[in-house]
């Protein structure tokens, strides 16, 4: 751990850049999320470094959009049976299929919820396919899958996946850069949570 900054903005890293310059460190690669502020500040201070967009953050961002889509659909179904079904699958949408608890009928409940709304089902299955891209052993395979994912998401005409496909297309170079530099910030998320808990 070299630096902990307050907040999520570019200002939180200002003291770090000073220490970096003073130490004469050479940074080749930076793993980050898709935050424009973070990307911008890294590009400004480390223009030669390769950016790697961590799968953890790509999927996390998609999950946030998926949850928002479920909330919008839930709001449209006020006082119907479908409303309670959609409410009940809130957390199931975010889990990988292999992590669904059969003893609580989780797979069946998720299936029932997805059966109520085709756009939600399509968005959910796109999430699963997005998670599988970095499971590929070769960069070429991952790139082919990523491009297929973008084209399929765009073809759905569902606003949320279409918009997210634009984000993925814009950041594809950094998503695929993981095959050249397999670095991840996923492990640091636990540290971030511990710091937040300690502060509270």
pLDDT tens, position by position, 126-147: 999 998 988 899 999 999 999 9
Q: 94 in a domain, yes or no?
A: yes
Q: 187 in a domain, yes or no?
A: no
The string of pLDDT tens digits covering residues 64-77 is: 999 999 988 888 87
Structural domains counted in the chain: 1
The string of pLDDT tens digits covering residues 150-198 is: 999 999 999 999 999 999 999 999 999 999 999 988 777 777 778 778 8
Nearest to 174 by CA among 71, 33, 75: 33
Q: 194 in a domain, yes or no?
A: no
Mean pLDDT of 95-108: 93
Place 5 in a pLDDT band, splitting at 50, 70 and 90. Answer: confident
Q: 22 in a domain, yes or no?
A: no
**pTM of the entire predicted model:** 0.85
The string of pLDDT tens digits covering residues 15-59 is: 999 999 899 989 999 999 898 888 999 999 999 999 999 888 899
Q: What is the domain range of residue 146?
A: 55-179
Q: 184 in a domain, yes or no?
A: no
Q: 80 in a domain, yes or no?
A: yes
Please state at what angle helix 159-170 crosses helix 139-155, rounded to 10 degrees. 150
Q: 131 in a domain, yes or no?
A: yes
């Amino acid at each position: 751990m070299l630096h902990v900054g307050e907040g999520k903005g570019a200002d939180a890293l200002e003291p770090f850049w000073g220490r970096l310059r003073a130490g004469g460190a050479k940074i080749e690669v930076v793993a980050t999320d898709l935050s424009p502020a973070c990307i911008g500040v890294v590009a400004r201070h480390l223009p030669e470094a390769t950016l790697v967009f961590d799968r953890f953050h790509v999927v996390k961002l998609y999950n946030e959009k998926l949850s928002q889509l479920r909330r919008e659909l839930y709001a449209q179904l006020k006082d119907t049976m479908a409303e309670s079904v959609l409410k009940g699958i809130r957390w199931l949408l975010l889990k990988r299929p292999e992590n669904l608890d059969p003893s609580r009928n989780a797979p069946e409940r998720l299936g029932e919820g997805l059966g109520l709304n085709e756009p939600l089902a399509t968005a959910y299955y796109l999430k699963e396919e997005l998670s599988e891209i970095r499971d590929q052993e070769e960069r070429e395979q991952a790139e082919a899958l990523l491009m297929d994912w973008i084209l399929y998401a765009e073809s759905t005409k569902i606003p949320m996946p279409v918009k997210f496909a634009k984000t993925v297309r814009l950041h594809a170079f950094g998503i695929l850069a993981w095959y050249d530099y397999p670095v991840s910030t996923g492990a640091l998320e636990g540290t971030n949570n511990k710091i937040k808990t300690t502060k509270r």
